[in-house]
């Protein structure tokens, strides 16, 4: 794929060959529809940098993720800023290839819009969305497909009962009415704070053995834990609560995941490290459950 630029070192600082990998990272520096703070294009690089400075041994899982899962990093996808559709086609193509090769695609965003393209390859899956926002607007600032409408567009093809929103705490009146009408399953940040393990248990029950795509919008964390995001929203969960959620979700039948909305120009490094840590926790849970 000539529109992927190799980046070395890759996630975690390791360089496993693609053939041996179970999880395959790709950076998608998409940064075109931000309504407030831009800079998500710098996120894949910063997450990789942070990942190389964290332990790869997971105390929670009792294993080293790089010994237990083959992990490879293809590099960064070329983003055509004026043509979202062209970028979207590339996202779909790389996700399809990795998935058909029996591997789990792991996308380092970029803005949340990219999830729309990635999940087109997983029409049978549940979508678990960790996010402060519901992203259910029909249109935002004239755009039908952007970071604020991405889940609404996903629902154009995904049945509403297969979207599960976790950590949400902000939406418009129109989004609230739409969500109520469509009976969209949602757990607010306060519900997660009041009982992370019961939220995980409910998600597990809803999903059963079906495939799950996990999208982590980093603003699900409270701004005190992850200040460097495109749209900070007070009243969020802590890093520890997010780690617990992710540990539970990582044991499900995961077919792909992404981490989006980190905005490095507004970060002191804390948020990039939080992103990398959440990813490691997910990899640890995946490795632990496939043992
Ligand atoms: Mn958000
Ligand atoms: Mn979002």
Question: Can you give the CATH number for the domain in which 231 is found?
Answer: 3.40.800.10
| Residues 57-111: tens digit of each pLDDT | 999 999 999 998 999 999 999 998 888 999 999 999 999 999 999 999 999 999 9
Per DSSP, the residues of 110-147 read S-TTHHHHHHTT-TTSEEEEE-SB----S-BTTBSSST
Would you say residue 35 has pLDDT above 80? no
Average pLDDT over all residues of the chain: 96
Residue 97 CA to ligand 2 center (angstroms) comes to: 25
Residue 1 CA to ligand 1 center (angstroms) comes to: 30
pTM of the predicted structure, to 2 decimals: 0.98
Provide the residue range defining the domain that includes 254. Answer: 4-289
Question: Which ligand sits nearest to residue 109's alpha carbon?
Answer: 2
Residue 217 CA to ligand 2 center (angstroms) comes to: 5
Per the structure, the count of domains in the chain is: 1
C-alpha torsion sign, points 203, 145, 1, 10:
negative
Calpha distance 246→241 (Å, rounded) = 9
CB 151 within 8 A of CB 129: yes
Residue 15 CA to ligand 1 center (angstroms) comes to: 31
| Residues 188-238: tens digit of each pLDDT | 999 999 999 999 999 999 999 999 999 999 999 999 999 999 999 999 999
| Residues 143-186: tens digit of each pLDDT | 999 999 999 999 999 999 999 999 999 999 999 999 999 999 99
Q: Does an H or E element contain 43, and which?
A: helix 43-51
Task: List phi, psi (to 5°) of 167.
Answer: 85, 10
**Residue 60 per-residue DSSP state:** T
Environment of ion ligand 1 (residues, CB < 5 A):
131-133, 217, 219
Residue that the structure tokens 């460097």 belong to: 228
């Amino acid at each position: 794929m000539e529109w992927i630029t190799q980046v070395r070192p890759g996630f975690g600082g390791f360089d496993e060959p693609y053939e041996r990998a179970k999880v395959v990272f790709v950076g998608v520096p998409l940064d075109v529809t931000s309504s407030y703070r831009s800079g998500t294009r710098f996120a894949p690089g910063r997450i990789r940098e942070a990942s190389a400075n964290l332990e790869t041994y997971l105390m929670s899982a009792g294993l080293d993720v790089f010994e237990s899962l083959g992990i490879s990093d293809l590099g960064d996808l070329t983003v055509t800023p004026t043509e979202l559709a062209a970028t979207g086609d590339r996202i779909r193509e790389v996700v399809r290839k990795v998935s058909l090769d029996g591997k789990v695609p792991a996308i380092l965003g970029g803005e949340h819009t990219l999830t729309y393209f990635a999940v087109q390859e997983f029409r049978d899956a549940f979508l678990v969305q960790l996010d402060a926002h519901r992203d259910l607007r029909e249109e935002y600032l004239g755009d039908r497909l952007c970071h604020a409408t991405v889940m609404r567009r996903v629902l154009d093809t995904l049945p509403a009962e297969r979207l599960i929103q976790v950590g949400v705490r902000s939406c418009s009146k129109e989004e609230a009415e739409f969500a109520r009408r469509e009976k969209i399953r949602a757990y607010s940040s306060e519900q997660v704070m009041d009982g992370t393990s019961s939220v995980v248990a409910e998600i597990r029950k809803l999903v059963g053995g079906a495939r799950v795509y996990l999208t982590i919008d980093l603003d699900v964390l409270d701004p005190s834990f992850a200040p460097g995001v495109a749209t900070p929203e007070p009243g969020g969960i802590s890093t520890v609560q997010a780690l617990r959620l992710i540990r539970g979700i990582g044991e499900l039948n995961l077919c792909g995941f992404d981490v989006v909305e980190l905005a490095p120009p507004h970060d002191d490094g804390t948020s990039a490290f939080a992103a990398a840590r959440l990813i490691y926790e997910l990899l640890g849970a995946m490795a632990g459950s496939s043992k």
